[in-house]
Amino acid sequence: MKHLKWSVLIVTAVTVLAVGITHQLIGTDNAVAQTQLQRAETQSSPRFAKAYELSDAFRQVSKHTLPAVVSIKTTGKVVRQTSNRRSPFGNDPLLRQFFNDPRFKEFMDQQEDGDEREYRMPGGQGSGFIIDSSGIILTNNHVVDDAEEIVIELADGREFKVVDVKTDARSDVAVLRIEAKEKLPSLVLGDDEAMEIGDWVLAFGSPFGLSRSVTQGIISAKGRGLTRSRLPQEFLQTDAAINPGNSGGPLVNLKGEVIGINTAISTRSGGYDGVSLAIPASHANWVANQLRDSGEVRRAYVGISMQELDADLATAFNLKIPRGVVVTGVVKESPAAKAGFREGDVILEVDGRRISNDRNMLGVVERLTIGQKYEIKILRDGREQRLNITVAERPDDLSSLENNDSGSSPGSNDEQSAEISDVGISIQNLTRDLASQLGLPSSNGVVITSVERNSPADDVGLEAGMVISRVGNHNVKSIADVEVAMRIARKAGRALYLVKLSRGNSSVARFVSVQLAERD
């Protein structure tokens, strides 16, 4: 009986232990199932569904894009240069004694004036992307400029030397070619014009040499210009982080299409400050196709100098909204001269495309077909007109071209002077001798001889030495013409001047709107 009792107790204990373990296992399974259920409910919840959809879109675009993104490493060219400066240490014997090292002496001796030395330009790194499965790569010109050797590292780690390089410095676009035995993954260039401000984009590249990096952002602005850059085209602005090494990489929309080439950043720190700029894909594609076909880029040209309109100038030209560009000069024998363009014409549309600013005008014009006729909508003397122009090829050197003279005859040879008190300037007839002294190609207009401090003229930046060639709608070649035009301007309380100033071998012209002061 005693043995039976112990058996029951043991069985009972084992049963309790088994039940405990079973409950623990069931509890574990329930916890896993509960977690999975909660995750599924979270993903299907309207509050979180959009976020997971966006995350999945980023993931899919990255998987599609990364295999076609490449890292670029360059080796600089070896150049010879004659030194024209001495070492900052000079030949001080005390320094030589302090640095009692033959290597230092050799270094010092190499720094003497007239010493010709060879040195290798610094190499660099950047990014690019494959646009043709045969091995055609698109990147920035500044990534490969002055490179002796260019090495491409694919996403899978393989490396290839570039066998052909075609570049266009004006657009900062370069096309590279490598020889691969098999077809490579490639990307499609999309329509950047269809992108809207606020659209999501991903930037790919190798910032600081960190390959296969992806950052996300939105399109912050379109048609953005670089005011301190030699690059004349417009850019896409994004807040996707771009840093040194990202240059040449693709900016991609959520369809997996390249809509820009990551090119520059606006920064005070030297790194990403929230403003990144990309060459629009449509422009890059136009350049790349010409480079691939002929090795050079041919651009169209109309033959004008122009100025962007601000709010004051728009008012002066009777425009409700400041858009378009105003013609400040017409080149002799150019397509614009033959089509009848004049100084003061405001260009509103080119071939049906609205013009917003000077960079936009350049971008539209240079991609026109050379030799073809186009209609341009202008505003002249407050009335809309349409001119037909046959565009020519852009000359290599625009600085040698001269603008047409506004007047029909040279200015008076007397040195009559006058003061325009409500503007705050003194003027003098522009003689041939004075025009020659100022470096101006013609003697049409009047020259500003002085500007009163804190006057309306001073406020808008008028300076002594500037030549006034137009007031309002009137071309001027003497003080008498200015006085007639000013009578009309005073009725409106504002004067519109076209002023010119010599800059080296050419003259720069711009319109200035001056709010007139009350006359004593």
Q: Where are the domains of the chain?
A: 51-71+127-142+167-297, 80-113, 300-393, 417-515
Q: Is the pLDDT of residue 151 over 60?
A: yes
Q: Do domains 51-71+127-142+167-297 and 300-393 have the same CATH topology?
A: no
Identify which of 351, 354, 220 has the alpha carbon closest to the alpha carbon of residue 274: 220
Q: Is the pLDDT of residue 12 over 70?
A: no
pLDDT for the residue numbered 110 = 55
Token output for 114: 């007239």
20-24 long-range Cβ contacts below 8 angstroms, 24+ apart: none
Q: Is the pLDDT of residue 155 over 50?
A: yes
CB atoms inside a 10 Å sphere around CB 405 = 19
Q: What is the pLDDT of residues 95-105, one digit of tens each?
A: 344 444 454 45
> Where does 417-515 sit in CATH, by number?
2.30.42.10
Catalytic residue among 168, 172, 422, 481: 172
Q: Is the pLDDT of residue 30 over 70?
A: no
User: Residue 60's pLDDT band (boundaries 50, 70, 90)?
Assistant: very high
Percentage of the chain exceeding pLDDT 70: 77
State mean pLDDT over 212-220. 95
Give the H or E element holding residue 508.
Answer: strand 506-515
Q: What is the pLDDT of residues 464-474, one digit of tens each?
A: 989 999 999 88
Check: CB of residue 181 under 8 Å from CB of residue 204.
no
Cβ density class 457-468: b for 16+ within 10 Å, e for less: beebebeebbbb
Is the overall model pTM greater than 0.85, yes or no? no
Catalytic residue among 71, 127, 142, 356: 142
Give the H or E element holding residue 396.
Answer: none
Whether 211 is catalytic: no
Structural fold of domain 300-393: Pdz3 Domain (2.30.42)
Measured in whole angstroms, how far is the alpha carbon of residue 90 from the centre of its chain? Answer: 44
Q: What is the pLDDT of residues 401-454, one digit of tens each?
A: 666 655 444 444 445 789 999 999 999 998 878 877 777 766 678 999 999 999
Whether 142 is catalytic: yes
Q: Is the pLDDT of residue 315 over 80?
A: yes
pLDDT for the residue numbered 88 = 44
Q: How far apart are CA 487 and CA 495, in angstroms?
A: 10
State mean pLDDT over 121-126. 82
* pLDDT mean across residues, the chain: 83
Catalytic residue among 213, 220, 247, 276: 247
User: Residue 7's pLDDT band (boundaries 50, 70, 90)?
Assistant: very low
> Where does 51-71+127-142+167-297 sit in CATH, by number?
2.40.10.120
Identify which of 393, 314, 390, 320 has the alpha carbon closest to the alpha carbon of residue 351: 390
Check: CB of residue 150 under 8 Å from CB of residue 166.
no
User: Residue 51's pLDDT band (boundaries 50, 70, 90)?
Assistant: confident
Whether 474 is catalytic: no
